[in-house]
Structure 1
Amino acid sequence: MNVEELTAIDVHVHVEADAYGRLSLPEELMSGSAKYFKTDERTSTVPEIAAYYRERRMAAVVFTVDAQTATGHPAISSEEIAEACAEHTDVLIPFGSVDPWRGKAAVKQARTLIERYGVRGFKFHPSLQAFHPNNPFVFPLYELMSEHGVIALFHSGQTGIGAGLRGGGGIRLKYADPMAVDDVAASFPDLPIILAHPSFPWQDEALAVATHKPLVHIDLSGWSPRYFPPQLVQYANTLLKDKVLFGSDFPVIKPDRWLADFARLDLKPEVRPLILRDNAARLFKLGGTVA
């Protein structure tokens, strides 16, 4: 991966279908999410993602979410995602996902994903997976990740998954308060963390955590930049300029649309490349050219 040739690094891209057409979420949640984001683009496979980002000279961090305990829906294989990404190392960076409720089995799977499949981090969706990030039950996972220097990416704030469905599809927003991740960052100070999304209704809390904890970053996925809270833009432009990352939430939000709206934000010229590429390259230790 030649970082200098990339225009951007998108740190938040969902694999929503595997090679056999199996979906990452139950049909009801997939349909509800598509309606919420006003898009017909409901699926994305690894080869499709690679082609899309290669055409735009971008790299992408890709993952699914294993929430089988909470939803009853079998997860797309993180192992298969990592294997597919190995065929597209010029543009794709694989993350894994494990169901935190599987305890020791989740830790064992995570170890295999790191050591055998080379994943660079793990995606957690506390609302969808129905767990508090600061539950000590999950700590063995964080310990393993910290030992291997891989990244923990946590969904934070409201989610489009379940939005508008009866009872929100049973998904509870309370799990996505970023203050729970502050506990994780304090307990595992060497664990790199990304708080995903503008963290409505906890935006100020997310900014406080990222300002206070050296290894906590924020990605800007899931929202069009035109709707970013003013304080998020202010911090991205100043105190957190080295810790804010470009993320789209592909396929429900496309980078083309996100970048067009991002261009209209009142940001310093020197800050834009940090957010779009350089901060992620440093966090992932990509350097110049990485095979």
Structure 2
Amino acid sequence: MNLDQLVAIDMHVHAEVSCCQPPDLFGKEFDDAADKYFGTVLKRGRRPTIPETIEHYRERKIGFVMFTVDCEANLGRRRIPNEEIAEFAQKNSDIMIAFASIDPHKGKMGVREARKLIEEYGVRGFKFHPTMQAFFANDRLAYPLYELIAEYKLTAVFHSGHSGMGSGMRGGGGLRLKYSEPIHLDDVAADFPDMSIVIAHPSWPWQEQALSIALHKPNVYIDLSGWSPKYFSPELIRHANTVLKRKMLFGSDFPLIQPDRWLEDFKQVGFRDEVQPLILKQNAIGLLGLGDQI
């Protein structure tokens, strides 16, 4: 990445539309419910393609980490290929980093895929969504994947807390919030100290758990995606300004939340001047091992 040119690094950007396969409309109701929950306003009346997302971020001089969510086993919805995202990142390495997503239920085949993605496609981390993938983060079925991620000293991002996915749907779309209680990540952080862990989103209604784990475990970070900063709790802002100032990361949750809106609100809610550059870019540089590029 051209770090000197970037104003920020967004650690939480979703790939929503594939350029190499037709859209899978199975489960579209989940997208519609999420758009309603977040009040999402989509340009062109649809979710952006990967090239459109790259253009969006390059115009703003914001680097970003992109991933899909593999929930094929639980929802039956075809994922966007990890290889597609990685290939776009290879061609746009000045602005984009690829993470992959592999459902832990895929077992040894999932581990084989993960190794190939690391070694042949250069992915830098992995995204897990316990609610959509229907597993507890400390379930041993996921440990072979964690072992591989730790072997390469890469990063794992975990959705935490409430989920806009399924919100308002009958029965919550069958999704269960219990899987994303952050406390399960305490086991993972203890068992895999060589794997960096990012607890994604303010973890309401379990915010204190996430803060405690990040304070206790050196390999745990928090990304602030999925919420406008104006809704952050005073306790979250207080910890970000003090003892966790090097553990907090900018993330938007694009396209559900636009980086422009997040960054504008971020300026208004009481983050200290000296802390803002850490959250917006410097902490991500350290986490992703990009310091030698400065």
Question: How many angstroms does 1:267 deviate by?
Answer: 1.8
The more displaced of 21-30 and 254-263 is: 21-30
Partner of 1:31: 32
| Code of the aligned partner of 1:248 | S
1:269 is aligned to 2:273? yes
1:110 is aligned to 2:110? no
The more displaced of 241-250 and 23-32 is: 23-32
Question: How many angstroms does 1:49 deviate by?
Answer: 1.2
Percent identity over paired residues: 53
| Partner SS state of residue 61, structure 1 | strand
1:127 is aligned to 2:128? no
Query: RMSD of the alignment, in Å?
Result: 1.2
The more displaced of 42-51 and 197-206 is: 42-51
The more displaced of 111-120 and 21-30 is: 21-30
Which of 160, 163, 181 aligns to 1:159? It is: 163
Partner of 1:218: 222
1:278 is aligned to 2:282? yes
Alignment TM-score, normalising by the size of structure 1: 0.97
8 Å contact from structure 1 (residues 196, 221) kept in 2: yes
Partner of 2:293: 289
Partner of 1:227: 231
| Code of the aligned partner of 1:184 | V
| Partner SS state of residue 101, structure 1 | helix
Partner of 1:3: 3
Unaligned 5+ segments in structure 1 are none
Change (3 A) 1:21 1:259: farther
8 Å contact from structure 1 (residues 3, 288) kept in 2: no
**In the aligned structure 2, how far is the partner of 1:136 from the partner of 1:225?**
34
Question: How many angstroms does 1:288 deviate by?
Answer: 5.1
1:171 is aligned to 2:175? yes
| Code of the aligned partner of 1:269 | D
Q: Deviations over 1:90-140 (max 9, x none)?
A: 100000000110111111111111111110000000000000110111111
**In the aligned structure 1, how far is the partner of 2:59 from the partner of 2:166?**
32
**In the aligned structure 2, how far is the partner of 1:85 from the partner of 1:7?**
19
Question: How many angstroms does 1:4 deviate by?
Answer: 1.4
| Code of the aligned partner of 2:175 | I
**In the aligned structure 1, how far is the partner of 2:84 from the partner of 2:25?**
13
1:253 is aligned to 2:257? yes
8 Å contact from structure 2 (residues 24, 77) kept in 1: no
8 Å contact from structure 1 (residues 154, 195) kept in 2: yes
Partner of 1:47: 51
Q: Deviations over 1:126-166 (max 9, x none)?
A: 00000011011111110000001110000000010000110
8 Å contact from structure 1 (residues 59, 92) kept in 2: yes
Change (3 A) 1:152 1:25: farther
1:82 is aligned to 2:94? no
**In the aligned structure 1, how far is the partner of 2:280 from the partner of 2:14?**
18
| Code of the aligned partner of 2:119 | E
Partner of 1:140: 144
Q: How many residues align?
A: 290
Change (3 A) 1:237 1:183: same
**In the aligned structure 2, how far is the partner of 1:74 from the partner of 1:246?**
28
Question: How many angstroms does 1:75 deviate by?
Answer: 1.0
**In the aligned structure 2, how far is the partner of 1:81 from the partner of 1:177?**
28
8 Å contact from structure 2 (residues 57, 63) kept in 1: yes
Question: How many angstroms does 1:289 deviate by?
Answer: 2.8
**In the aligned structure 1, how far is the partner of 2:263 from the partner of 2:293?**
24
**In the aligned structure 2, how far is the partner of 1:44 from the partner of 1:186?**
38
8 Å contact from structure 2 (residues 134, 176) kept in 1: yes
Question: How many angstroms does 1:44 deviate by?
Answer: 2.5
**In the aligned structure 2, how far is the partner of 1:25 from the partner of 1:213?**
39
Question: How many angstroms does 1:17 deviate by?
Answer: 0.8
Question: How many angstroms does 1:25 deviate by?
Answer: 7.1
Q: Deviations over 1:73-102 (max 9, x none)?
A: 111101111012211111000000001101
Unaligned 5+ segments in structure 2 are none
